[in-house]
């Protein structure tokens, strides 16, 4: 949109340009449109970056990695490690870290260097490979080499042995850089990874490091065992002497005090007293038993007990026999008493036999009682004797107990020394077993040896290519948005109206390969193909110019641009030819004296022209020329003169145009670029309106704004803009309202023949 006001002084219309803000909201189409427009940028970025990355990946020397794994066992006493035997430390994170340091130590890796003869391997000994030109240049430019000359001179003065040692140290350092040891998860397994350009060498180095580490642990343990055994041997000898002294003191005191021990550890006095007490108890029991039996026998003799219990008390076979016979006679007497009566001779004989048998029983009882009396007396005498002996021994035991206190103190000292000796002897025996190499095993075992890797660890070509595609894709998208952000030109009429506030009269499509054949071809294209998209675009521009001034004749329009090469002169010539084809009286005046583009495009004579007309050296009839391809009239610029600027300032152009208004319906002035010379601003004050030409996607927006400001400041009246040389295919990729014009479904309305 534009607002027009009437200047009271001049009566001319002036335009106040107001940029129109973009009220559209960002949506998915607006985000994706730049990507689609710049799809070739994205495509070639992906192709070139991926191709370059792939080439580099295939040119880089592949590096292989081989991994061996060892299990570090927890160290326990009896579990075959000296440190565990001496200190009893468990295996923790710090211990695993220590083992990693051992694996990557110069000692272990140095053994591998010697074992595999890596001094002769160029990969590990760079001195064997002559430096390339690039490496020599880098070495010369590196500040580190500037201070290395003195050390190199000193190295030359070393002996061959020292030089060989220095070379070996460098190889060891190189090998250390290729070795990495890490703990696998939360386990006690350590992974030993070696990288090399030779797959077989990577596996060999990893396996050799594994073997050398186990050997190192074995040797370290054996060395520690040997040192510990030596120390324990000396300590055991001293403890043995101490124990012997302590035990000798015990025995001497025991012998002196008479505290000789029996078989079970007690003293002889204690043992004798114990035995006498036992005998006394038995004697008392025997005496009590004899007295009890004697008492029962006497009760039997006195008739206090029944004869039936006699066998249990007397325990006499004769008594038992007599009692049995007595019982039989009693049954017989009872039977004869019932059968014969008490006075029968058999009855009397039976009673006599019974009485005689009872007399024998009584006599036997008296004899047994006398024996029991003697037994009781003997038991009592023995008891008294034992009591006397016990009393004597108890006196001796009291003195022995006093001496035993000191003896126990000596025994405790001897026992403590003996316990210490036994503990050291046990450790000594354990370590003595380990001292035998054939019975040792290391506290680390091989979980798996490294195998020769089939694929290189670096570079991972497939992964690199996939990453290159992804990264280059992201880079391509970033470049697409960057190009969009850096795009300083106008891409559509809608964009021009939004940012400049001027209407767009039309979009002039580019002819493509035909455009390269010259401006004459462009201008003649309309004549040859008037119904083409180009012809329709030119007619549309002319229609909008005519509508600005309804009725009347002599509409004077200036065609101007900000910079050269924007298609301004070609557009002016095309407007004149299209109108001349339909019979309108059209005049084209070339005001660009320095280049005379109209004369070049049409092949007309360069003079006389406008310069001659303003200077008064030629008449209108002299300068008017007929376009060879249409019925339009043309006034060329004429011979350039330094007076051109003064002629414009003096108003000579107004004097020239005034009579021509009555002669022509439409007068087109092709002026020089506004930013090239000041003539364009002076010409603008003599015309009715100015048509501003902008090259599509090329002329920077800031340049266009500045040129319009210059034109307006000099009294120009820009009524609209024209976008020239529009690439209709690329224009259709944008999402503006006029995108796709002259392309796609609209193309069928235009004929190119």
| pLDDT tens per residue across span 665-674 | 899 999 999 9
pLDDT at 550 over 70: no
Report, in angstroms and rounded to the nearest whole number, the Rg of the chain calculated over CA atoms. 68
pLDDT at 20 over 60: no
| pLDDT tens per residue across span 682-697 | 888 889 899 999 998 8
Residue 633: what pLDDT? 94
Residue 634: what pLDDT? 94
Residue 225: what pLDDT? 67
Scanning the structure block, which residue is given the tokens 């595609």? Answer: 469
Q: How many CA atoms lie within 13 A of 379 on its CB side?
A: 19
Q: For residues 336 and 348, give the distance between their C-alpha atoms in angstroms, rounded to a whole number.
A: 10
| 3-state secondary structure (DSSP) of residue 588 | strand
For the chain, counts of helices (H) and of strands (E): 27, 14
Residue 143: what pLDDT? 65
Specify whether the CB–CB gap between 739 and 696 falls below 8 A. Answer: no
| pLDDT tens per residue across span 48-80 | 998 998 888 888 888 989 999 999 876 543 444
- pTM for this structure? 0.51
| pLDDT tens per residue across span 164-209 | 888 889 999 999 999 999 999 888 899 999 999 898 999 999 999 9
Residue 738: what pLDDT? 63
Residue 723: what pLDDT? 92
Residue 580: pLDDT band with limits 50, 70, 90: confident
Residue 735: pLDDT band with limits 50, 70, 90: low
Residue 516: what pLDDT? 42
- Interior/surface letters 341-361, b for 16+ CB within 10 angstroms, e for the rest: eeeeeebeebeeebeebeeeb
pLDDT at 483 over 90: no
Least confident of 107-111, 131-135, 389-393: 131-135
Return the percentage of the chain with pLDDT > 70, whole number.
Answer: 76
Least confident of 10-19, 269-278, 353-362: 10-19
Specify whether the CB–CB gap between 192 and 66 falls below 8 A. Answer: no
Residue 2: what pLDDT? 44
| pLDDT tens per residue across span 300-339 | 777 655 555 555 455 667 777 777 777 787 777 777 777 7
Average pLDDT of span 564-572: 89
- Residue 39 has a CB neighbour count (10 Å cut-off) of 13
Residue 155: what pLDDT? 55
| pLDDT tens per residue across span 490-545 | 888 888 998 898 999 988 888 754 444 444 456 667 667 767 777 888 888 888 88
Q: 3-state secondary structure string, 520-549?
A: HHHHHHHHHCCCCHHHHHHHHHHHHHHHHC
Residue 705: pLDDT band with limits 50, 70, 90: very high
pLDDT top residue among 731 and 752:
731
Return the percentage of the chain with pLDDT > 90, whole number.
Answer: 15
Q: For residues 113 and 172, give the distance between their C-alpha atoms in angstroms, rounded to a whole number.
A: 7
Scanning the structure block, which residue is given the tokens 């012809």? Answer: 535
Ordered by where they begin, the domains of the chain are: 271-402 (1.10.287), 499-749 (3.40.50.300)
Q: What is the DSSP string of 78-132?
A: TTT-HHHHHH-PPP-HHHHHHHHHHHTSHHHHHHHHHHHTGGG-TTT-GGGSPPP
Closest C-alpha to 657, from 563, 558, 739? 558
What are the backbone angles phi and psi of residue 752, rounded to the nearest 5°? -100, 15
Question: What average pLDDT does the structure give for the chain?
Answer: 77
Residue 556: pLDDT band with limits 50, 70, 90: very high
Residue 692: what pLDDT? 95
| pLDDT tens per residue across span 463-482 | 888 888 999 889 988 888 88
pLDDT at 274 over 90: no
Q: For residues 118 and 202, give the distance between their C-alpha atoms in angstroms, rounded to a whole number.
A: 12
Residue 21: what pLDDT? 43
pLDDT at 558 over 90: yes
Q: In this structure, what token pair is assigned to residue 654?
A: 């107004």
| pLDDT tens per residue across span 581-640 | 878 899 999 998 888 888 888 888 888 988 888 888 899 999 999 988 888 999 998 887
Residue 590: what pLDDT? 92
Specify whether the CB–CB gap between 67 and 421 falls below 8 A. Answer: no
pLDDT at 399 over 80: no
Closest C-alpha to 206, from 123, 109, 126? 109
| pLDDT tens per residue across span 741-751 | 665 555 555 55
Q: For residues 431 and 416, give the distance between their C-alpha atoms in angstroms, rounded to a whole number.
A: 23
Q: For residues 34 and 465, give the distance between their C-alpha atoms in angstroms, rounded to a whole number.
A: 26
pLDDT at 83 over 50: no
pLDDT at 260 over 60: no
Average pLDDT of span 363-370: 76
Residue 217: what pLDDT? 82
Residue 635: what pLDDT? 93
| pLDDT tens per residue across span 411-423 | 777 788 778 877 8
pLDDT at 575 over 80: yes
Task: For helices 519-528 and 533-548, give the axis angle rounded to 10 degrees.
Answer: 90
Residue 364: pLDDT band with limits 50, 70, 90: confident
Residue 24: what pLDDT? 44
């Amino acid at each position: 949109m534009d607002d027009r006001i009437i200047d009271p002084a001049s009566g001319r219309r002036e335009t106040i340009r107001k940029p129109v803000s973009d009220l559209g909201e960002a949506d998915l189409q607006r985000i994706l449109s730049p990507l689609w427009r710049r799809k070739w940028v994205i495509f070639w970025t992906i192709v070139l970056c991926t191709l370059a990355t792939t080439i580099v990946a295939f040119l880089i020397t592949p590096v292989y990695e081989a991994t061996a794994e060892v299990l570090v066992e927890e160290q326990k006493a009896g579990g075959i490690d000296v440190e565990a035997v001496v200190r009893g430390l468990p295996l923790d994170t710090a211990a695993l870290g220590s083992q990693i340091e051992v694996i990557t130590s110069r000692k272990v890796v140095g053994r591998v260097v010697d074992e595999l003869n890596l001094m002769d391997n160029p990969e590990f000994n760079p001195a064997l490979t002559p430096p390339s030109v690039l490496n020599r240049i880098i070495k010369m430019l590196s500040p580190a080499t500037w201070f290395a000359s003195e050390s190199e001179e000193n190295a030359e003065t070393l002996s061959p042995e020292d030089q060989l040692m220095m070379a070996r140290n460098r190889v060891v350092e190189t090998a250390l850089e290729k070795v990495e040891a890490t703990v696998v998860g939360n386990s006690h397994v350590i992974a030993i990874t070696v990288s090399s350009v030779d797959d077989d060498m990577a596996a060999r180095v990893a396996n050799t490091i594994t073997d050398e580490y186990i050997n190192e642990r074995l040797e370290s343990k054996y060395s520690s065992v040997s040192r510990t055994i030596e120390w324990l041997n000396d300590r055991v000898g001293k403890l043995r002497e101490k124990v012997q002294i302590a035990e000798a003191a015990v025995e001497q005191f025991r012998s002196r005090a008479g505290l000789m021990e029996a078989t079970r550890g007690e003293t002889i006095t204690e043992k004798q007293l114990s035995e006498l007490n036992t005998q006394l108890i038995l004697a008392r029991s025997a005496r009590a038993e004899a007295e009890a039996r004697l008492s029962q026998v006497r009760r039997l003799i006195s008739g206090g007990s029944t004869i039936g219990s006699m066998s249990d008390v007397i325990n006499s076979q004769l008594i038992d026999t007599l009692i049995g016979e007595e019982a039989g006679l009693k049954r017989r007497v009872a039977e004869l008493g019932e059968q014969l009566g008490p006075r029968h001779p058999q009855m009397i004989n039976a009673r006599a036999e019974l009485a005689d048998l009872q007399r024998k029983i009584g006599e036997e009882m008296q004899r047994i009682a006398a024996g029991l009396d003697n037994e009781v007396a003997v038991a009592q005498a023995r008891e008294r004797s034992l009591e006397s002996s016990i009393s004597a021994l108890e006196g001796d035991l009291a003195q022995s107990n006093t001496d035993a206190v000191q003896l126990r103190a000596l025994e405790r000292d001897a026992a403590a020394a003996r316990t210490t000796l036994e503990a050291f002897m046990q450790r000594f025996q354990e370590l003595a077993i380990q001292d035998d190499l054939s019975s040792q095993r290391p506290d680390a075992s091989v979980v798996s040896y490294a195998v020769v890797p089939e694929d290189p660890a670096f570079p991972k070509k497939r992964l690199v290519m996939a990453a290159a595609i992804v990264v280059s894709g992201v880079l391509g998208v970033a470049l697409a948005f960057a190009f969009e952000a850096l795009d300083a030109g106008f891409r559509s009429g809608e964009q021009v109206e939004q940012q400049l506030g001027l209407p767009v009269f039309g979009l002039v499509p580019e002819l493509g390969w035909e455009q390269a054949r010259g401006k004459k071809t462009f201008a003649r294209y309309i004549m040859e193909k008037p119904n083409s998209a180009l012809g329709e675009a030119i007619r549309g521009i002319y229609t909008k110019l005519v509508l600005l001034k309804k009725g009347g004749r002599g509409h004077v329009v200036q065609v101007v641009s900000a910079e050269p090469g924007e298609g301004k002169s070609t557009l002016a010539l095309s407007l004149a030819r299209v109108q001349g084809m339909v019979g309108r009286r059209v005049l084209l005046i070339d005001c660009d004296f320095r280049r005379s583009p109209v004369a070049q495009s049409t092949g007309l004579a360069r003079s006389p022209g406008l310069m001659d007309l303003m200077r008064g050296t030629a008449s209108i009839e002299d300068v008017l020329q007929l376009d060879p391809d249409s019925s339009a009239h043309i006034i060329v610029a004429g011979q350039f003169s330094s007076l051109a600027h003064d002629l414009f300032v003096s108003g000579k152009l107004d004097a020239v145009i005034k009579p021509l208004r009555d002669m022509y319906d439409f007068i087109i002035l092709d002026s020089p670029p506004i930013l090239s010379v000041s003539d364009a601003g002076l010409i603008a004050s003599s015309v009715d309106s100015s048509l501003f030409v902008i090259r599509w996607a090329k002329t920077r927006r800031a340049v266009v704004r500045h040129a319009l400001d210059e034109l307006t400041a000099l009294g120009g009246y820009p009524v609209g803009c024209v976008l020239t040389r529009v690439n209709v295919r690329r224009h259709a990729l944008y999402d503006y309202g006029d995108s796709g014009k002259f392309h796609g479904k609209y193309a069928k309305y235009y004929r190119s023949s």
